[in-house]
Amino acid sequence: MPEAADVVHALYRQFFERGVRYFFPDAVLLTGATGPEVKPSLLIHGRTDGGVNLEWMGTRYHLESVEGRPFSEDQLRLLGAIGSVHSVRYRSIFSSVSATSSVALFEGLPEDRYISAFLDHTPYLNEDEVPGHRDVVASAIEVLRESSLLTYENRRISTGVVLTGRGSDRFHANPALPEGALQYASSLVAIKSFHRLCDGLKTVFLVDSDGMLVDLVDMQEFARAHDEAPLPAPSAARYLAHCLATLEGGHICLVLTPNGEIKVFAGGVQVFNFLEGRWHLTDIVEKYRVFQRAVGDVALAERLFTAGLNLAEHRRGGLFVILDRPESARELVSPPDLLENDGPLGTNKGQIHYLLRGKNVLSLELSVLQSIARVDGGIVLDRDGRLLAFGAILRNAGEYVTAQDGGRTTAAVHASRFGPVLKISEDGSVSFYRGGVKLWEI
């Protein structure tokens, strides 16, 4: 029936548009012409202006970021994952596979499926078949989602899991299936002792590629073989082992933190987090690359980025300002706050300036840098890493920001006119400002 087919096509266009708008809330999705040929496959065409043209179910779309910046590799990969999920679901309607397999494709939240397709695209490579096996990643996300709603001894649950990949891992053999092994599925959440076996930080569950719970491992030991391997981007110290553990073999690590956040690690970095009711693509490799280019010094960029992530994990605020010209410090910071100050020392902070005078961020221990970053105000340094001020109240020159942004954002916007600025918020986010504009947020 043509009318029924038209309804299905319209629904799948809506599903696709919702998925794109969910993960790209700051982008503009424009709908173009509808062609006569309807195909359940997504075509992505890059444009020289940074936007992308999309073709889905006979409809053409144009997607562009509000700032006009080109989409990153991970963002394009996520678009492909959204298209792949709906392509498989659409094909399953007309497939001869069992109804059980078809129903399984529609279980769970759509956004969880997009993440699963992003992390493991192999089930979607064959357009002539419908995946018949269980979605291991989506099932693991469901376990963490349900666990986040529970408490144990009046404390919120934290847990984690490593999903072994299908790739080659030089250091870890494929785990053997123990007798009586259970599926890592939401049914485990009802077992009280299940939540006491691991904390997601030091210990995690190990699940094989078929979704079977096979072991309990120490996170540091599991990642130890990769200790000297370089990561694609810096990591917070708390989750360094989780990043290292996913460098090889296609392993995926998921962690539920005590504050209810779900973190997803793959390819040596954190790729997604679920916070405040929605998923976010971190795109951390591209964002770090942008920050590194702006700072100019690789070691300095890595030190500040790492410190920022550590502060964010501990929900501590901070502000790092890297001046293009050291002499502009006097335009941004009042003289008593400068470490090199010829005036009177005053009676408070100025009297202990000698402890940090002449210091360089690159030679300070990371713990010391993070400690002074927690002092109210900002850290100001030059492009060589020389510390110019700490705990400095920065002038803002009447910058306009919305009421909910607060003083730290106002200071970051104005200071970014003097050089790159990294702002860490107490809600756990890290933002990068340049030229009075926020370029990204993690």
With vertex at residue 284, the alpha carbon angle to CA 278 and CA 286, rounded to the nearest 5 degrees, is 125
Q: What percent of the chain has pLDDT over 90?
A: 56
Residue pLDDT, tens place only, 385-416: 999 998 888 877 655 555 455 688 889 999 99
| pLDDT recorded at residue 209 | 87
| Other C-beta atoms lying within 10 Å of the C-beta of residue 299 | 11
Q: Quote helix, strand, coil % in the chain, to nearest 5.
A: 35, 25, 40
pLDDT at 403: 46
- Residue bearing the bigger pLDDT, 47 or 81: 81
What pLDDT score does 376 carry? 83
**Is 60 exceeded by the pLDDT of residue 266?**
yes
Give me the numbers of helices (H) and strands (E) for the chain, helices first please.
12, 20
* Residue 344 pLDDT exceeds 60: no
**Strongest mean pLDDT among 163-172, 191-200, 264-273:** 264-273
Asked if the model's pLDDT at residue 262 lies above 50, the reply is yes
Confidence of residue 257 (pLDDT cuts 50, 70, 90): very high
Read off the tokens for 140: 């693991």
Amino acid identity, residue 122? Answer: T
Report pLDDT for 102. Answer: 67
Q: What is the SS3 assignment for 203?
A: strand
CA angle 413, 415, 418 (to 5 degrees): 125
Span 417-440, mean pLDDT?
Answer: 93
The span from the CA of 411 to the CA of 399, in Å, is 8
- Check residue 130 and give its pLDDT: 65
Instruction: With CA atoms as reference, report the closest residue to 281 among 425, 146, 421, 441.
Output: 441
In this structure, which amino acid lies at residue 233?
A
Distance from C-alpha of 71 to C-alpha of 199, rounded to nearest angstrom: 36
What does the alpha-carbon distance between residue 301 and residue 294 come to, in Å, rounded to a whole number? 9
Task: Name the region of 249 (left: φ>0; alpha: ψ -120 to 50; beta: rest).
Answer: left
Task: List the structure tokens of 8.
Answer: 């299905």
Asked whether the beta carbons of 244 and 227 are under 8 A apart, the reply is: yes
More confident residue, 77 or 2: 77
Residues 6+ apart with CB under 8 A from 98: 132
The whole-angstrom separation of Cα 270 and Cα 284 is: 7
CA distances (Å), origin 271, targets 242, 249, 253, 285, 437:
12, 16, 10, 9, 24
- Kindly report, residue by residue over 408-424, the tens digit of the pLDDT: 888 999 999 999 999 99
Which stretch of DSSP H or E encloses residue 432?
strand 430-434
Q: Tokens 């993070």 — which residue?
A: 370
* Among 405, 404, 403, CA closest to 431: 405
Residues of the chain with CATH 3.40.1700.10: 136-282, 285-441
Is the pLDDT reported for residue 123 higher than 70?
Answer: yes
For residue 172, what are the CA distances in angstroms to 91, 118, 165, 254? 37, 24, 11, 18
Looking at domain 136-282, which CATH architecture does it have? 3-Layer(aba) Sandwich (3.40)
Please provide residue 173's backbone torsions phi and psi, each rounded to the nearest 5 degrees: -75, 155
Region 73-90 average pLDDT: 93
**Confidence band (pLDDT; 50, 70, 90) for 3?**
confident
* pLDDT computed for residue 127 by the predictor: 63
Q: Indicate the range of 102-106, 304-308, 356-360 predicted with least confidence.
A: 102-106
Question: Average pLDDT of the chain?
Answer: 87
Fold of 285-441: YojJ-like (1 (3.40.1700)
Strands (E), 118-234: 151-152, 155-156, 159-163, 182-183, 203-207, 212-218
Residue, of 108 and 35, whose pLDDT is higher:
108
Return the pLDDT at 172: 76
